Amino acid sequence: MPLLAISLLTGWCITVIVYDTLNLNDKFRSYYDHLWYTTALLAGIFFVADSIGNQHAKNLAEENQVSQAASLYLLDQVRSYDQFCKAEGLTETSSCVWASDVQQTLNEYAAYGSATFYRLGPADSSEIYADIRRPVTAREIIEIREEIKLYNLMVCPVEDLGKGIRRYARPSRFCQQVPPAFCTSFPDPPEGLVDKDMIIHSVALASECIIPTLVVSRARQENSNAAIASNQQNRYQRWWLYIALAAVVGGKIANSTTKVANLDQRSAHDRRRLVQPTIRGLFSGTRRLAGTYKAIGRWFGR
């Protein structure tokens, strides 16, 4: 507010002095109106730019909520699968070892905010399938996915009725249809390993679509954070322009002041009163600078 007030008063003072000193008339006010009406477009730029910045922040917040909720949803399913593995004595299989290890990772994803997930979230599906003790090969990842596929078919059996018609398992505690927001990406390749349309039927462990969704979510949040950072940098530049527009507003007010004060009716001598003192001040300042320069030259010449 102080900066805007100073800019407004500066624009008012300069316009009044110039109008009075240069003996301007109502034609100047008409020309100035062209500049004044143009500022409406610049004001629209501020509105649009801020609206876009607010939209980026809103998108980031919504996307982060999805990644957190999807991580919790998958974590709950993984815990159920982990209990199944222990009950069936399958704790040494690849998928059961993964189910035991990945719970910590998913728990962290669920806790990551918008300023963290885009840095520490999964950049690739292999990061979620990775073993905490050693690297996991692509073949081992396929093995984990195949075992999860068999688990889904066992808990949520699919009955083939012929002619391309299938009957899927009814929803239950361990067999549910994935919320659409958590399953916005198709499964990873290879093609045909799992049913890519799993979003339309119930499954026990929806890792095939939630994991790719988390990867895409990180990329989206990264883009939103970059857009917000860029908008924040541009906001400072827009503020400088906004301060300059305040000077234009001050000039518009000054035009009204000159009209109310009837400056046009003053004599040319009175209106140009500031010209001669200004010129004398400029010449006096120039002579003093020249004298100072010569004195410094003589001092160094010694």
Mean pLDDT of 74-99: 92
How far apart CA 124 and CA 239 sit, in angstroms, is 40
Please provide the DSSP assignment of 79-133 as one string. Answer: HHHHHHHHHHT-TTSHHHHHHHHHHHHHHHHHH--TTTHHHHS-SSHHHHH--SS
What's the rounded mean pLDDT across residues 105-131?
91
Tell me the C-alpha distance between 83 and 93, whole Å. 13
Report the pLDDT value the prediction gives residue 35, as an integer from 0 to 100.
Answer: 81
pLDDT of 302 higher than 60: no
Domain boundaries, the chain: 2-51+227-301, 53-225
Segment 203-226, tens digit of pLDDT: 999 999 999 999 999 999 999 988
pLDDT given for residue 164 in this prediction: 63
Q: Which residues contact 260 (CB under 8 A, 6 or more apart)?
A: none
As given in the structure block, the two tokens for residue 97 are 């070892």
Alpha-carbon radius of gyration of the chain = 36
pLDDT of residue 299: 72
Choose the most confident range, by mean pLDDT, from 37-51, 53-67, 193-207: 53-67
pTM: 0.67
Predicted confidence at residue 197, as pLDDT, reads: 74
Res. 108: pLDDT tops 90? yes
Phi, then psi, of 235 in degrees rounded to 5:
-65, -40
pLDDT tens-digit series, residues 162-189 = 666 667 777 778 888 889 999 988 888 8
Residue 202 β-bridge partners: 177
Residues 210, 199: Cα–Cα separation, whole Å: 10
The confidence score (pLDDT) of residue 57 equals 86
Number of H helices, E strands in the chain: 9, 4
Q: What is the pLDDT of residue 81?
A: 94
